[in-house]
A and B are shown apart, each in its own frame.
Chain A
Amino acid sequence: VAGPRRILITGVASWWGMQLAERLLADGQRVVGLDTREPPGPHGITFVRADLRERGLAEVVRAAGVDTVVHNDITQYPEPGRSARALHDINVIGTLQLLAACAELPALRTLVVRGSSAIYGSEGCGPSFFTEEMARRFPRRFRFQRDVGELEALVDSFARRSPGVTCCVLRLAPQVGPGLDSPVNRLLRGRLVPTVLGYDPRVQLLDAEDAVAALHRAVLDPVAGPVNVAAEDVVPLSGALRAAGRLPVPVAGPLYGRVARGVPPELQRFMRFGRAMDTTRMREALGFRPAHTTAGALARAAA
């Protein structure tokens, strides 16, 4: 069926939301953006002010009459207008409400969720490369990790109830990029980067632009189920930092939280044990190859 698709993006005022909306508009698709605050751009989207946690969401979503939903409103850290306490509500209750609304959309064919590789945690004793089947290998230690776990369980059960909808969850590696202001970015883009004394973890990152490109790819050609999305190289943290012109400053583990202020606990653990994923499914099923390597993304983030 030719003609533009109608695509709903939740959390459209976030960095990813705006970037993705821009790409989809450039493709000639029609974009409905949902958020609690109006995005500064891009022009051409139909903005709907709505809160995922509130009643009335179902009517708003139904009125949009979309065939594709991109659930991008996943928050890992407080943003303007989102307190730390609201994160669980947005991630889990918001997803629950959104999926309930999606169940009443007869034209819905595609659901794309911006998930996170945080679902695997960071474990020294863990497998060297997490595949998509390994999400339940270790207990979930932190709030955000449990949030993404619950969120994926909700998407899973929605997918089972809705055989006509292709539900794709992208498990994105920690992202760095010049445009993005997040704890991992603030931690890694400085000249001096606090690392944990005695540990040189293997890390795998994702350039923020590649994250948007992967979402874009999943909207155009979705695959069912979770897909790991990360740069294709895995590098030791200290070496990658030095190559990107940063100076790793080892800090004793117990003091790390005090030196690296504002670093959420799952990120602190990532700096100790790292994480790498098997990206075979990303390359072969999703047909996506990131433009940037981990080392390249780190270098770009400094600019």
Chain B
Amino acid sequence: VSADHWGFDEGFAHTARAPLALLTDVWWRGAVTGAEAVPDEGPALVVVDCPSDPAVAHVVLAGALARAGRRHPRCLLPGSAFDRPWLSEAARRFGFVPAHREDALGLLGEGHLVGVSVSGPHDTLFAEIALAARVPVVPCAIVDRPYLPAPGPLRLAPLPTRRRVAFVAPLGPYAADPEDRAAVLDHADLVRERLAEAVQLSVTQLPEGRRPTTTTGET
């Protein structure tokens, strides 16, 4: 096992990307649009809006990027994923890290593409990271059928739904003080607005009977 100081194992991630791309195609029947908005080089932050579990959202994001032939994202997962046996090891080797601002800034400082969920661990983390690191933000909306709450670990098993992964044009980078609460909230609102537009766009492309009743996860 060879890994960098984050625990990222390039060989493992490379091997996992092919089946993941296939999974995105076949199981999730994913339609990926606008992936060219993701820059090929330099630090950038992908902010994901997904009604289902954030861990699943980031795996779907990685699958969508693999399918579109873009670079591998290093995503921020909820810390609880890193307490679990096997899951913690796999997540690390796949390049994922616990959702801490310092982790994100470190990865962006090394020029990586970082994925973060629009919600949690707290509401404006993504905006704070974007402003502190002064990196462009690529909003990404993932739309699926209404989220079916399944018990326990079954939640992690992706249900066979049609997912649409829509990237929209990058925002920023903006020069604002990350400690300035008003600036952070402004930036967060701007990103959320773009996400809402992207979600709307994806929803209207879904067949009539499959349109979700909600797209934010808050029922």
Contact = CB atoms under 8 A, between A and B. Distances in A.
Interface of A: 124-129, 131, 196-200, 202, 233-236, 238-239, 242, 253, 273, 276
B106 interface: yes
Given A125-B98, A127-B102, A202-B92, A253 B5 contact: no
Interface in B41-83: 78-80, 82-83
B79 A124 contact: yes
Interface centre among B80, B100, B103 (most CB of A within 10 A): B100
Given A239-B2, A276-B5, A199 B98 contact: no
14 contacts: A125-B79, A125-B98, A126-B79, A126-B98, A127-B100, A127-B103, A128-B102, A129-B103, A131-B102, A198-B86, A202-B6, A238-B1, A239-B2, A273-B82
B89 A198 contact: yes
A79 B203 CA distance: 67
B7 interface: yes
Contacts of B103: 127-129
Nearest to A131: B102
A76 B136 CA distance: 47
Contacts of B85: 196-199, 253
A234 B92 CA distance: 13
A131 B102 CA distance: 9
Contact-residue size bin, chain B (C-beta under 8 Å from the other chain)? 20 to 34
A297 to B, nearest CB: 16
A271 to B, nearest CB: 13
Contacts of B7: 128, 202, 234, 236
Nearest to A198: B85
B83 to A, nearest CB: 4
A199 B89 contact: yes
Contacts of B82: 124-125, 273
A232 B85 CA distance: 27
Given A239-B3, A253-B85, 18 more contacts: A124-B79, A125-B98, A126-B98, A126-B100, A128-B103, A128-B106, A129-B103, A129-B106, A131-B102, A197-B85, A198-B85, A199-B88, A202-B3, A202-B5, A202-B92, A235-B3, A236-B7, A239-B2
A247 B1 CA distance: 14
A237 B217 CA distance: 38
Interface centre among A196, A199, A238, A242 (most CB of B within 10 A): A199
Nearest to B85: A198
A198 B89 CA distance: 7
Nearest to B4: A234
A236 B1 contact: yes
B83 A128 contact: no
Contact of B3 (A126, A129, A198, A236): A236
Interface string B81-107: 011111011001000011010110010
A124 B3 contact: no
Interface in B103-118: 103, 106
A124 B88 contact: yes
A259 to B, nearest CB: 16
A8 B92 CA distance: 45
A131 B92 CA distance: 20
Contacts of B102: 127-129, 131
B1 A128 contact: no
A270 to B, nearest CB: 14
Contacts of B106: 128-129
Q: Which are the 5 A-B pairs with shortest beta-carbon distances?
A: A125-B79, A198-B85, A124-B82, A239-B1, A124-B83
B73 to A, nearest CB: 16
A82 to B, nearest CB: 34
Nearest to B91: A124
